[in-house]
Amino acid sequence: MKPLPRVNLDDKIFTLKYYVDEEYAHLKIRDPQVCRSCAEKPCLVFCPAGVYRAEREGGITVSYQACVECGSCRVACPYLNIEWDYPRGGYGVAYKFG
Ligand code: SF4
Ligand code: SF4
């Protein structure tokens, strides 16, 4: 069987179009204190869009505008500390090639 071509994730993300809702964040940290005590911070790794960034004081910044709605963070945060909702109608990511 012919192997699938290698794909650069950054190139794929570059093709997406975002309709940003500036008034409603569909992703939220439930309890910032839980993030400060979370030593491994796997959200910095499992999110393909780099939505989660570590703050100097140990907290997490959420750039919900860049979310590609893969759903990983709904299950991969070990403390279920991420509140996830769909973006409001008309907002969110649009996939150009399906
Ligand atoms: S994995 Fe969850 S609890 Fe840990 S830093 Fe990220 S959002 Fe916070
Ligand atoms: S749904 Fe996917 S892209 Fe969006 S924040 Fe969660 S892990 Fe990142």
Q: What angle do CA 72, 76, 77 make, to 5 degrees?
A: 120
**Is the pLDDT reported for residue 24 higher than 50?**
yes
How confident is the model at residue 8, as a pLDDT?
83
Residue nearest atom 2 of ligand 2, based on CA coordinates:
70
Q: Determine whether the shortest distance from the Cβ of 60 to ligand 1 is under 6 A.
A: yes
pLDDT tens-digit profile of 47-65? 999 999 999 999 999 999 9
Domains and CATH numbers, the chain: 23-94 (3.30.70.20)
User: What residues pair up with 19 in beta bridges, in sequence order?
Assistant: 92
